[in-house]
Amino acid sequence: MEIYNYIKSLHLIFVVTWFAGLFYIPRLFIYHIEAWQKPSPDKEILSEQLKLMTKRLWYIITWPSAILCTLFAIWLLILMPGWLQQAWMHVKLGFVGLLFFYHLKCHQIFKQLQRDDVKYTSRFMRIWNEIATLVLFAIVFLVVLKNAFNWIYGVFGIFVLAILLMLGIRLYKRIRDKNPNA
């Protein structure tokens, strides 16, 4: 079963790079949205540069990482079919499904911004950016704690984390409103 450790390592590497892309892409969306509020020619120059950065991140890092992460996960499930009998794996796969929904919605936003179709505010994108964080916390705790996972504390913890993230976003907005260069 030595191959198991190699497959698991590759799966984890691509989980990390996938999340890196999912954490950074909404940040680029925020910059792109805020660039549209600037006067010309800044708006056009920034927009073109951000489109290029976003395209490279999305197609060179994020999509390939999602695909490779998934392929190695499937391979792990083939090697360890008993995991599919365990409740924690069903819940984890539910969170992975949520993560794919998030990824596909980011793809939709990416396509809109590539067409200069700005439909969201930077504040919305700051909140949107935290969804991947919540999913990451849920998956990591679920995988590490498995059957010992206490659902009441886990659900409570995710809500507390979400509230703290929202408060952090509000605090950042206040600081930024007072100092626009922050």
Range of the domain at 47: 2-129
Give residue-wise pLDDT tens across range 59-107. Answer: 999 999 999 999 999 999 999 999 999 888 988 899 999 999 999 999 9
Give residue-wise pLDDT tens across range 31-55. Answer: 999 999 999 999 999 999 999 999 9
Asked whether residue 143 is domain-assigned, the answer is no
Contact 125, 29 (CB under 8 A): yes
Asked whether residue 19 is domain-assigned, the answer is yes
Asked whether residue 163 is domain-assigned, the answer is no
Asked whether residue 52 is domain-assigned, the answer is yes
Residues of the binding site for heme: 11, 92
Instruction: Quote the number of domains for the chain.
Output: 1
Asked whether residue 152 is domain-assigned, the answer is no
pTM (predicted TM-score): 0.84
Q: Name the average pLDDT for the chain.
A: 90
Judge residue 159's burial from the number of C-beta atoms within 10 Å of its C-beta, 0-12 exposed, 13-18 middle, 19 or more buried: exposed
Fill in the amino acid letter for 76.
Answer: L
pLDDT of residue 141: 81
Residues of the binding site: 11, 92
Mean pLDDT value across residues 156-173: 81
